[in-house]
Chain A
Amino acid sequence: MTSLSAPKERLNRRVEIHQVSTHTVPPFTTPPTTRKRKAALAASPTPTTATQSRSRSRAATATESSSASPDTKPVRKRQKKTKAQLPGSGAESDLDTPKSEKEVLELPVEERLKATDLVTPASTTMESDDDFMSIASSADDFLGTQGSDDESLGEDFGDDFDGGFSKDKDIFSNEQKPYEVDFKVLTPEDIEREQNLQVNEVSSILGLPPESSAILLRFGRWNREKLIESYMDHPDKTLEEAGLGTNFDTTPKTEVVPGFMCDICCEDGDDLQTYAMRCGHRFCVDCYRHYLEQKIREEGEAARIQCPGNDCHMIVDSKTLNLLVTDDLKDRYRTLLMRTYVDDKENLKWCPAPNCEYAVDCHVKQRELQRIVPTVQCGCKHCFCFGCTLNDHQPAPCKLVKMWLQKCEDDSETANWISANTKECPRCHSTIEKNGGCNHMTCRKCKHEFCWMCMGLWSEHGTSWYNCNRFEEKSGSEARSEQARSRASLERYLHYYNRYANHEQSAKLDKDLYLKTEKKMTSLQSSSGLSWIEVQFLDTASQALQQCRQTLKWTYAFAYYLARNNLTEIFEDNQKDLEMAVENLSEMFDNPVAELARLKVDILDKTAYCNKRRVILLSDTAENLKNGVWQFNVEW
């Protein structure tokens, strides 16, 4: 019998657990068809614009894409099937109404994809889509290539084009997806312009000089209405608090004052240039300048530099600054002011990408983050969450992301391992790992004797020494169920964590693979006769992969916190579809470079399909989040 408090082999065991749980997938309780139907029902479809015939043809698409996508190869087969089915698609769809309804719901999203992705040589299946033909025909050479290289046309997307959706497209193409937010990217110039605009406005309303208005605004954290109100009520008090005097007559200038001695350096030369703000604290220009320089350059202060005078809270205004410091410092000062401007305003955030100078303007408030995941894309292409400025983490809300990261960071795996693989002494709660021997445990610490199997008192065992066959005793059963719970919770966590980590890792690998491929793209250009612009499909595909994996990664963190219900099953279906789409596309990159040109159409199709699945998943999640219908297993 042994009792250990910190066994070394825990780490090894931990690894084992990892491996085991990779294969642990929670069994689905319902067959796929039932789930699909539930999904459709739960989504409560309202096909307002699409007509009956449209929904039918959509149904064919739906059947195709959802049934064929899980396979890795059968793109061609699937497409042939589609062709065959097209004439009878109406009849076909009647067999599976729920799906058709579900697809109709997703329609706006796909419509947009169609317009932007240009993936589909749809001319064969297109019927009367004038609007779309023009776009398709502009991609003529595209079609030519596909025709000669590969006969596999992306019909499952081609279907998207038939049925005369052209009219709807105009309506939908401007519509925002449920997971998107309005935002604006601001360059440094924009920010400065915006700042000046507000300063001038307040300046003209209050009749104060602009540099004073700027100080007032910064004091009021750019809340114009509140500031004006408080100034109107108590002008002197507001000015005082903001660090402004009430006397605005003097223009700042340096002067020589007879008999003056600088309080800072104690110099008292007759020709000493001196300066004082309206507060009257006079210092020599050298000291004043040195003081400002140090504040700006070393302390990074700008908006709240006070008069150098002891206990004086008057804020140094921009006119004073411009009078005293060198030009490069003025630039720095302006940059710093801009920084405080963005920091002060709730609707502005700096792009967190290294060396990026842009800010993003978005009106999603902190309290709205329960219902929305505001992902924005900066002018530098960096995608980040406006709520928490972390990298794009859709569909998981900020709070859950924080909890998840914390959980992963806390080395909670170790904690979980301990709770799953060790037991506590029922009396003194020392952690004990049994590393062999009999079941008669004696705690090294408190000498408590108990049975490892049932956790009950050893004395209760009577004569059944080496074999614990007791089950009913309460003392033991409580301890056992606790053990089972923590084991299950560990397995659950690892299930999600492994998938989360896997997508993160795979995204890196995908990128590496693409970077290698990219080098060979030049050779692909010469060997296949494709132009530079034509081999960009690899770039597009790689980016889609990255993006989808990013999304997938966070779906696992999100799912970890989801309570089990029908919505969760729909979510998991969407997750699975996206995952398969991603794996299929990812696989394409394993092909030799020489093959890639031939596979172009296939890759394009798969790329579009990935994007489509991602849009569907994110839209679904975002809408449920907005409506507050997700149920979580944690409070947040």
Chain B
Amino acid sequence: MGSQKRIAKELAELTESPPDGIIVELANESNLYEWKVFMDGPEDSPYHKGRFELKLTLPTEYPFKPPTVSFVTKIYHPNVTNDDKGSMCLGMLKADEWKPSSRLSAVLEFARSLLGEPMPDDAVEGRIAEQYREDRKRYEEIAREWTRKYAGGAASS
């Protein structure tokens, strides 16, 4: 199956005309299935000025099976696990919702939009989600603090 061709095409498209605030490259030139993604925090979010590294892994059955996305950089966010895996739970990446014609650019753009607008109802970190809902100010403070600490973002108040 021509999955390599498809991946190469998507990679070329993403490097030639990258979406806003997203830079992709192969983690290792000889392996098309592991990508390194750098994502800038959206402007109107507490992650602003932070640059987050993500890992995008494509299964060998790609595009029939969905890719997985995880944060390498630690981030304080309701939809990213607060552990060394930094996994994300994206609806469109679930096996039964993934369509082979879905594009990686859409996945990455969606992931970035999630930084601006977390989805507390689909949270993987219940505690952060609760704080996001109940005490937005405190959540933003911590998120900003973490961004400064781990993602090299300048502390802005």
Contacts and interface: CB of A to CB of B under 8 A. Distances in A.
A310 B99 contact: yes
A291 B5 contact: no
B102 interface: yes
Given A290-B64, A294-B64, A299-B96, A266 B5 contact: yes
A158 interface: no
Given A265-B1, A266-B9, A309 B64 contact: no
B18 interface: no
Main secondary structure on B side of the interface with A: loop
A267 interface: yes
B95 A264 contact: no
B96 A291 contact: no
B99 A308 contact: yes
Contact of B100 (A267, A287, A299, A311): A287
A267 B96 contact: no
A310 to B, nearest CB: 5
Given A291-B100, A306-B99, A308-B101, A264 B63 contact: yes
Interface residues of B, number: 18
B91 interface: no
B95 A281 contact: no
A529 B102 CA distance: 77
Interface in A298-335: 299, 301, 306, 308-312
Nearest to A307: B99
A310 B95 CA distance: 14
A286 interface: yes
B1 A309 contact: no
A283 B63 CA distance: 13
Given A294-B64, A301-B96, A267 B2 contact: yes
B103 interface: yes
Contact of A267 (B5, B61, B102): B5
A436 to B, nearest CB: 46
A299 B103 contact: no
Given A294-B64, A299-B95, A301-B96, A286 B1 contact: yes
A264 B96 CA distance: 17
Contacts of B45: none
Contact of B101 (A264, A290, A294, A301): A264
Interface of B: 1-3, 5-6, 9, 61, 63-65, 95-96, 99-103, 106
- Top 6 closest pairs, chain A to chain B, by CB: A265-B2, A266-B6, A264-B100, A263-B101, A310-B101, A266-B9
7 contacts: A265-B6, A265-B63, A281-B101, A299-B96, A308-B100, A308-B101, A310-B106
Interface of A: 263-267, 281, 283, 286-287, 290-291, 294, 299, 301, 306, 308-312
